[in-house]
Amino acid sequence: MKINALVAHAATSPLSPDHIVLRPLQQQDVTIEVLYCGVCHSDLHMARNEWAVSRYPLVPGHEIVGRVTDVGNQVSRFVPGDIVGVGVMVDACRECHFCQNQEEQYCEKGFTPTYNGVDKYTGESTWGGYAQQVIVDQDFVVSVPDNLPLAGVAPLLCAGVTVWSPLRHFGVKAGDKVGVVGLGGLGHMAVKLASALGAEVTLFTTSPQKGADAKRLGAKQVVVSHDVEQMAACQTSLDLIIDCVAASHDLDPYLATLKTNGRLVLVGIPETPHTSPAITPMVFRRLSISGSSIGSIKETQEMLDFCGQHGITSDIELLSGENIESAFSRMLSGDVKYRFVIDMHATRWSR
Ligand code: NAP
Ligand code: ZN
Ligand code: ZN
């Protein structure tokens, strides 16, 4: 099936409308008309080949909300008309320890990413959600609660679950003191979700003007990270920090704000590594640094259901697809409130 999409043809050229061909509908597949697709910083990293793994042509987009329009003859979980979501994964080996334990994001053979992966049926690239349609195996499709505004749901499929997974995995509970570094797409969802779990949230930001928003989103305290006095005032106060920054930076000032036994969870994936942390405080205060990759399909559904119960969606700015490059530019300068979402129906596809 030939459809319209926003295509990156090279690391240095802007995304532009073009045609792509989706795989034929398989027995387990669901065809989804994309209604909204969030713009993740990973899309920008990948469009520009900042992780040196991009293959072109490339169609980004892994925060997809849409309507089912067709199903294969073995699909049991969805029917045409259902409103569904697709995140960062569209397949995995399904056999390894992690797949068997419903942690496909850590599949030993590597999960199949929604875009820039290899489609097991065609051997060609997987295509993301900056497109009119996607075709996805039903096991990698989730149900969207019916009480939430759909454009604000799209960013939950990556940004939401990427911060939800470590919050749950590391057992954050009511009363815990949680730090969030960076008020962007991931960071603002971390503030919302951690505070909805009952944690007391401290937001670290390089942008003092975001302070009022952070408090509105649920942060109890806002700390400007380049203000030495503000940083000193919150030393050894936090149980866990989620670092959502998309650029390389010094981790030591954040480690200093952790209590003994505290944990810094890195979810941002900068183009160049962070400088190594100082070992002494890690040793003498038994600190941990962890990474965390997106979240499983099970966690994604749990997070969506939690958001449905608590009325949580992303704060978004809607755009039509032809404006994607200006959205990328604003994202690079940290100027997004707090996630761009492409309105696929508003997008003009003619070149
Ligand atoms: P984003 O919306 O651009 O937010 C990043 C935030 O980091 C900015 O809003 C800014 O917040 C802060 N920041 C401080 N200095 C920065 C700098 N020099 N450059 C960029 N940001 C800076 O990005 P996002 O979509 O939330 O993604 C954040 C990172 O997570 C990206 O690297 C992305 O690839 C990665 N990611 C990882 C996973 C995973 O599975 N682990 C999943 C999705 C995304 P302040 O203005 O408040 O300082
Ligand atoms: Zn993402
Ligand atoms: Zn596996």
- Ligand 3 center from residue 58 Cα (angstroms): 24
Answer whether 293 contacts ligand 1 (Cβ < 6 A): yes
Q: What mean pLDDT comes out for the span 67-84?
A: 98
Torsion region of 175: left, alpha or beta (phi above 0 gives left; psi -120 to 50 gives alpha): left
The alpha carbon of 106 and the centre of ligand 3 are apart by a number of angstroms equal to: 7
329: pLDDT strictly greater than 70:
yes
Find out whether 288 and 315 touch, Cβ atoms under 8 Å.
no
pLDDT at 351 over 70: no
* Rounded distance from Cα 166 to ligand 2 centre (Å): 15
Question: CA-CA distance, 185 to 334, in Å (whole number)?
Answer: 10
**Which ligand is closest to the CA of 108, given by its number?**
3
According to DSSP H, which parts of the chain are helical? 41-47, 97-100, 150-153, 159-169, 185-196, 211-217, 228-233, 252-255, 279-284, 297-310, 324-332
Q: What is the pLDDT of residues 256-273, one digit of tens each?
A: 999 999 999 999 999 899
Spatial neighbors of 116 by CB under 8 A, at least 6 apart, are 46, 53, 54, 55, 58, 125, 126, 128
Q: Which ligand is nearest to the CA of 129?
A: 2
- In this prediction, residue 276 carries a pLDDT of 86
Q: Which atom of ligand 1 is the closest one to the Cα of 44?
A: 34
CA of 126 to the centre of ligand 3 (A): 18
- Which atom of ligand 1 is the closest one to the Cα of 295? 40
- Residue of 333 and 287 predicted with greater confidence: 287
Average confidence (pLDDT) over 108-119: 98
Which atom of ligand 1 lies at the shortest distance from residue 270's CA?
Answer: 32
Q: Is 290's C-beta closer than 6 angstroms to any atom of ligand 1?
A: no
- pLDDT of 289 higher than 90: yes
Instruction: Decide: 275 and 251 in contact? Cβ < 8 Å.
Output: yes
Residue nearest to atom 44 of ligand 1 (CA): 42
**Whole-number average pLDDT of the chain:** 97
Instruction: Please name which of 259, 194, 242 lies closest in space to residue 251, comparing C-alpha atoms.
Output: 242
Residue nearest to atom 30 of ligand 1 (CA): 268
Mean pLDDT of 44-71: 97
pLDDT(1) > 90: no
Q: State the CB neighbour count (10 A cutoff) for residue 316.
A: 23
Tell me the pTM: 0.97
Contacts 24+ apart (CB under 8 A), 217-225: 217/188, 217/191, 217/192, 217/315, 218/191, 218/192, 218/194, 219/180, 219/191, 219/195, 220/195, 225/181, 225/253
End-to-end distance of the chain based on CA atoms, in angstroms? 20
Q: Is the CB of 269 under 6 A from ligand 1?
A: yes
Ligand 1 within 6 A of 224 CB?
A: no
* Alpha-carbon distances, residue 268 vs 130, 180, 290, 295, 315 (angstroms): 22, 11, 12, 14, 19
pLDDT at residue 350, rounded to an integer? 81
Residue 153 in contact with residue 304, Cβ under 8 Å? yes
- Please, which residues bridge with residue 318 across strands? 341
**pLDDT above 80 for 178:** yes
